[in-house]
Amino acid sequence: MKSFRHKIVVVTGAASGMGRAYAELFADEGAKLALCDFDEKGLKETAGLIRGAHPQAEIITMKVDVSDRQQVIAFADKVEAELGKAQVVINNAGVEGNNRPVWALDISQIERVMNINFYGVVHGTQAFLPQLMDSEEGALVNVSSLFGLMGTPNASDYCASKFAVRGFTESLMTELQYSHVQVHLVHPGGVATGISRSGGNDDFKERFLKSDAKAICREVIRGIKQDKLRIICAHQARSSMLGIRFLPLRLLQKLIWLDMGRVVDKTHYPQNIRRKK
C-alpha cells in the first residue's frame, strides 16, 4: 500500500498516546478516519486536534471497550455504514500490566489485561477482516510489544498478552500470505505514552520509556508502505532483538534482570531475591 489518501483508516485506542499519534499522522496523509476508545473525553480531544489541523477531514468516533466483542462489531458496522469498508486497521488499544510478580497477581488482574490487549486484537481483527478482504487494498496492523518477544520481571500478565498477539498475528500472516491483505506485527519498545502513567515507578519510566510516539508511528506507517511484516522500533528494541535471537535463554534472563532489576518494584519479592541487583 503506497498511499493512504482517501483510504478509510481505523484506529483503536485513539484517545491518547500512540493511538492519537497514528490518527494525526494518517490525517496528514489524507486518510478518512474511524477512531474508537473507551476514554470518550480523550477521543473527542483527538478528533478536535485533527479537525483543527485539517478542517475538511472526514472523522467518525465511537466509545468502544475493545474487550467487548459486540461493541467492536457495532463499531465495524458503523464504519462501513458511514464511511465505507475499512482499508487499514490499526489494532492499537491496550493497557499496562499490574507491575507485580506472578505470585502476587490475582487471576482477575491477568484476565483484564488479556481481555483488552489480546482479545481486543482478536475482536478488531475478526470484525474488520471481511471489510479488508472486500476492499481492493487492505492492511491489518496488530500491535504487540518488545515484551511480546521476551519475558521481563513484574510483567507476566502484559508479556502473556503481547506474546499471544504475536502468535495470533504470525499465524494470520501465513493464512493470508497469498491474499491482497497485508498483515503487520508491531513490536514497539520503550515508548513514552499514557499507558505507563498509573503503574510501575518513575525510575523505570525514566530509564526505559524514552521514545516519542509520533516517531514510532511514522516508522510503522513507513513499514506499511513497504509491506514489512514485522516492525520492531523504539528505545532498545533492536539491541534487545539481537539478544533474543542469539543468546541462550539462561544468559538472556540474567542480562534482563541485570538491566531491569535495579528499577523493578521488589515489594512482593522474598528478601533473598530483593538483594540481587
Exposure string (b/e) for 58-92, b if CB count within 10 Å is 16 or more? Answer: ebbbbebbbbbbebbeebbebbbeebebbbbbbbb
* 158 belongs to the catalytic site: yes
From the candidates 22, 158, 178, 269, which is the catalytic residue? 158
What's the per-residue H, E or C state across the chain?
CCCCCCCEEEEECCCCHHHHHHHHHHHHCCCEEEEEECCHHHHHHHHHHHHHHCCCCCEEEEECCCCCHHHHHHHHHHHHHHCCCCCEEEECCCCCCCCCCHHHCCHHHHHHHHHHHCHHHHHHHHHHHHHHHHCCCEEEEEECCHHHCCCCCCCHHHHHHHHHHHHHHHHHHHHCCCCCEEEEEEEEECECCHHHCCCCCHHHHHHHCCECHHHHHHHHHHHHHCCCCEEEEECCHHHHHHHHHHCCHHHHHHHHHHHHCCCCCCCCCCHHHHCCC
Distances (CA, A) of 131 to 36, 127, 138, 198, 227: 17, 8, 8, 36, 19
Catalytic positions, written as ranges:
158
